[in-house]
Chain A
Amino acid sequence: MPSLPDMTTPDVVALAESAAAAQSHDPHVQDVDLKPAFFDWLCRMGDNTLILGHRISEWCGHGPALEEDIALANTALDLIGHTQMWLGLAAEVQSEGRTADDLAFLRDAMKFRNLQLAELPNGDMAVTLMREFLFDAWHFHMLTALTRSASPRVAEIAAKALKEVSYHLERSSDLVVRLGDGTQESHARMQEALDRLWPYSGEMFVADAVDDAVANAGIAPVLADLQPAWQQTVEEVLAEATLTRPEGRADVHRGGKQGRHTEHLGYILAQMQFLQRAYPGASW
Chain B
Amino acid sequence: MSTPSDAQIWDWLAEVPDPEIPVVSVTDLGIVRDIRWDGDTLVVAVTPTYSGCPATAVIDLAIESHLRDRGIGDLRLERRLSPPWTTDWVTQEGRDKLRAYGIAPPVDGTASDGGTAARAARLAGRSNLVIACPRCGSGNTERVSQFGSTPCKASYRCKDCLEPFDYFKCH
Contacts and interface: CB of A to CB of B under 8 A. Distances in A.
Contacts of A77: 50, 52-54, 151
Given A84-B51, A170-B146, A78 B77 contact: no
A207 B24 CA distance: 47
A173 B119 contact: yes
Interface string B92-120: 00000000000000000001111010111
B159 interface: no
A156 B79 CA distance: 13
Contacts of A166: 111-114
Contacts of B76: 6, 18
Given A71-B147, A140-B114, A7 B65 contact: yes
A19 B146 contact: no
A160 B84 contact: yes
A164 interface: yes
B123 A177 contact: yes
B144 A78 contact: no
Contacts of B84: 156, 159-160, 163
Contacts of B114: 140, 165-167, 169-170
A67 B54 CA distance: 19
Contacts of A233: 116
Chain A binding surface, main DSSP class: helix
Interface residue range, chain A = 35 or more
Nearest to A181: B123
Interface string B133-169: 0000000000011111101000100000000000001
A22 interface: yes
B78 A19 contact: yes
Give the one of A7, A74, A173 with max B CB within 10 A. Answer: A74
A158 to B, nearest CB: 10
Contacts of A160: 48, 51, 81-82, 84
B15 interface: no
Contacts of A78: 50-52, 151
A236 interface: yes
Given A166-B111, A170-B112, A170-B114, A74 B51 contact: no
Give the one of B51, B68, B123 with max A CB within 10 A. Answer: B51
Given A71-B147, A84-B51, A173 B82 contact: no
Given A67-B147, A70-B145, A5 B51 contact: no
Interface in A171-230: 171, 173-174, 177
Given A6-B64, A19-B79, A167-B112, A81 B147 contact: no
Contacts of B119: 170, 173-174, 177
Interface string A56-82: 000000000001101100111111111
Contact of A71 (B51, B122, B145, B171): B145
Given A78-B52, A164-B50, A156 B146 contact: no
B65 A67 contact: no
Nearest to B41: A18
Interface of A: 4-7, 18-19, 22-24, 67-68, 70-71, 74-82, 84-85, 140, 152, 155-157, 159-161, 163-167, 169-171, 173-174, 177, 233, 236-237, 240
Given A85-B51, A160-B82, 4 more contacts: A19-B79, A156-B81, A163-B171, A166-B113
Top 3 A-B residue pairs of the complex, sorted by shortest distance between their CB atoms:
A81-B52, A81-B51, A67-B145
13 contacts: A5-B64, A6-B76, A7-B61, A7-B65, A22-B45, A67-B144, A78-B51, A84-B51, A155-B82, A156-B81, A160-B82, A166-B113, A167-B146
